[in-house]
Amino acid sequence: MIQYPLVVVLLLLSALASSHIRCGAVAAAAAMDASYVAVVSTVLRGASTVIDVAIDGGGHLLYITSTGGIVYRLLSQSSSGASQTVASGFSYPTSITCDTVNNVTYVADTGYYRIRRIDLSNSNAVTTFAGGTAGYQDGTGTTARFLNLAGIVYHHSSGGVVYVADGNYIRKIIVANASVSILHRRKFVLTFA
């Protein structure tokens, strides 16, 4: 029992240290005891560096890699990892998330300064959800601007909200109207061009 808080703290610290914070890991840590052992196996060994993963509405793994600007779905979990192309035409995508209820995936399309939306239940139709021009500008849809898109996460609150890490900012996008606002700004950042 004495070791229990230490395990929780260590797991919390390790979750905070990772570039993509997964809240589930922290919640799960609370239920673990000191004897918990995670079993790790490899489900894909690809030619390119895998950048991010998400789960779609069918429970399949989606992933993006360092080359090609493509979103893939993993069809079979093996060392050969058969995959299919879900959508292409992205420029240096850095992060992916999924609204598993509506079966919609959001991609931080970093090289094009925009968030793309993939409708998985509608022939994987791809549309620009927000952004498309470099800068820091709040607004609706394509009038909003992004500069250094990195992590992206979807939450179902208030009818659906997407949060993105964008340089020194955290941006909030309301799904219903693609309204982009700044949720957080680091205090020591004074001006932007």
Ligand X SMILES: *[C@@H]1O[C@H](CO)[C@@H](O)[C@H](O)[C@H]1NC(C)=O
Residues that bind ligand X (CB under 6 A): 56-58, 103, 120-121, 140, 174, 176-177, 179
63 — phi, psi (to 5°)? Answer: -150, 155
Closer Cβ to ligand X, 24 or 59, answer by number: 59
Tokens 């069918």 appear where? 58
Task: Specify whether the CB–CB gap between 182 and 171 falls below 8 A.
Answer: yes
CB of 156 to ligand X, least distance (A): 13
Closer Cβ to ligand X, 148 or 179, answer by number: 179
CB of 192 to ligand X, least distance (A): 21
CB of 185 to ligand X, least distance (A): 20
CB of 177 to ligand X, least distance (A): 4
CB of 1 to ligand X, least distance (A): 42
Closest-CA residue to 63 (of 107, 101, 120): 107
Closer Cβ to ligand X, 11 or 174, answer by number: 174
Measure the CA–CA gap between 152 and 146, rounded to whole angstroms.
Answer: 13
Task: Specify whether the CB–CB gap between 62 and 73 falls below 8 A.
Answer: yes
Closest-CA residue to 71 (of 100, 47, 95, 46): 95
Measure the CA–CA gap between 65 and 47, rounded to whole angstroms.
Answer: 9
Closer Cβ to ligand X, 44 or 120, answer by number: 120
Closer Cβ to ligand X, 67 or 140, answer by number: 140
Measure the CA–CA gap between 189 and 169, rounded to whole angstroms.
Answer: 10
